[in-house]
Structure 1
């Protein structure tokens, strides 16, 4: 009985510490969200208030009325992010299947090159990519970001999918071959439906990486009409004037909505993938 009490007390302490740490980490985001619903008078009132005395939506209306560039940045980011994911998912699934289930000449070399690519800092690729896109007239285009983002996120995604396909029993593939299925049909119809959790993990990682990426977006996208949120949000401070913290907070809050939705929708598969990996280890 004493052991059970100590165990329960330990669990309670872990939960309390976890909540406190989470609040500390999330406090800037929580403050921005709460500020976005405050009036201008309340934002500058003394003493400062944490919770809005009165919830107002004026700041969100000002995002559209006073920040005409925000919708451009927002939809550019949506297009680039979705375009990258639509390329990374099938390519990583195909490469992961090949690396996990097939034997071919140079397989070890390919695996080594993928790991080496991940280990090299991304900034090393920036100048050659810029020169290449300048030659191909891809600067200031959505495709000019989608292609580099796909190349940068594909190695890690391939490793995740290689691990996922490698865990599946070989009997499934053998039974499908006996039934006359081709390698493509086995990959698409038999094995891929069993690695949905890993695909969800790849989707979340890729979405976050692309949505918040700054270095390539800042270098490759110069024109305002082509910029994404990571580059455009700092510019909104000038457009909204430095004192318009309510409007800026509303813009930042809106930029967090897509990431939050993706995680909420896919969190079940994402958590299953993490638990599966931890149990295996």
Structure 2
């Protein structure tokens, strides 16, 4: 049977006795309102039964809204006193362990409900993370939707581990990384790509690697490309001379000359807005 207060604990005034006196002090007790509260207590343990001290134990109401949190003591024990009667969910968290599914617990008025929480060891507890923010070089503004690639360097071998994109605050994250040496590369159209210096992580390191991207000065330019072929047989012509002309008021001026590659392809880049023409020929020495 649970012990409860029928009346509130009421102190008397201070009573002074000087020698052989008979003091009387009558006073009244106020009835305690009926309690519709109970307690939740329990222990947080590993699967082998050993306790987990200082784990964060969190209580949610029946709608999943956080109600209160507490920590287990050195013996793994916790208590939530004076919880209004009703249904709740409870779980726990501690670095190195997986958070269990929330368990249902019912609180009865004037009763203590016991709960045992078992936490599984996180198999990735000692793995590492690399995170950071990608910003502009001019005003340090975050850049959204940057492609960030992670590479691991082992001796003379470089291996790409993964690719993520920055969020609207320019942030990225790579988690669950084994010990080793890493670097990241960031790129986005309109910016010059960049690589970080290598960083070494081991035994649960969370390493910040921030990146700066400079605007590409040629970002607002175009290209002209094509394939030169023999009109008789459709074969690609390698080493054809291709001239690029700018056209202004009907006047053509050569501004660049290139040659086709082995597949007959030519390419002119970094072209400003304007009107152009290309002309091609194949010249040989006789």
TM score, norm. by length of structure 1: 0.18
Q: Which has the larger radius of gyration?
A: 2
- Structure richer in strand, relative to its length: 2
- Structure richer in helix, relative to its length: 1
TM score, norm. by length of structure 2: 0.18
Larger RCO (alpha carbons 8 Å, 6+ apart): 1
